[in-house]
Each structure stands twice: as structure tokens, then as C-alpha cells.
Amino acid sequence: MKAAIGDRLVVEGTYNHEPRRIGVVTELRHPDGSPPYVVRWMDAEHETLVFPGPDARVVTKQEREADLAAL
């Protein structure tokens, strides 16, 4: 998994009652874009250091723009 500042980190809920969480990567700890990341969560507006698990994925700016263009 690699990310850049401004990419979104999407973490799917592990259980049915847990919502999906979406955050914005605000800081990288490694120059190659590997985890961990400092993420500002959109639902809580606070930052945490995140070591993403298998339920997480990175959505790049280019992927978001392509999705919007397809609408």
C-alpha cells in the first residue's frame, strides 16, 4: 500500500453495524509512501497515526477525478 498527501484512506467496517470511515492523508512517515500515515478523519475532524489493515484501501486523487468524470 502506497499513499501521497491528499489521498483518501477508506477503512471498511469490520462488522455490519460499523460504518465505513474515510480520512485524508495529511502526513507521510516514509518518503516512499508506505504506512503508517497521519490521517484526518472526515467524520470526527481529528488526526491519528494509522497503520492500515487489510480492511483499508487508498483512493488517489486521480481515481477520485476519474470517478467524477465518469458521472
DSSP symbol at 18: S
User: What does the pLDDT average to over 49-66?
Assistant: 91
39 backbone dihedrals φ, ψ, rounded to 5°: -125, 135
Q: For all residues of the chain together, what is the average pLDDT? A: 91
In this predicted structure, the answer to whether residue 69 has a pLDDT above a threshold of 90 is no
**pLDDT higher for 52 or 67?**
52
**Residues 11, 56: Cα–Cα separation, whole Å:** 4
Per the CB < 8 A criterion, the answer to whether 38 and 48 are in contact is yes
For residue range 13-44, what is the model confidence (pLDDT) as tens digits?
Answer: 777 778 889 999 999 999 999 999 999 999 88
Is pLDDT at 2 greater than 90 in this prediction? yes
Q: How far apart are CA 30 and CA 10, in angstroms?
A: 20
Give the predicted TM-score (pTM) of the model: 0.84
Cα-Cα-Cα-Cα torsion 33, 41, 11, 29, nearest 10 degrees, comes to 20
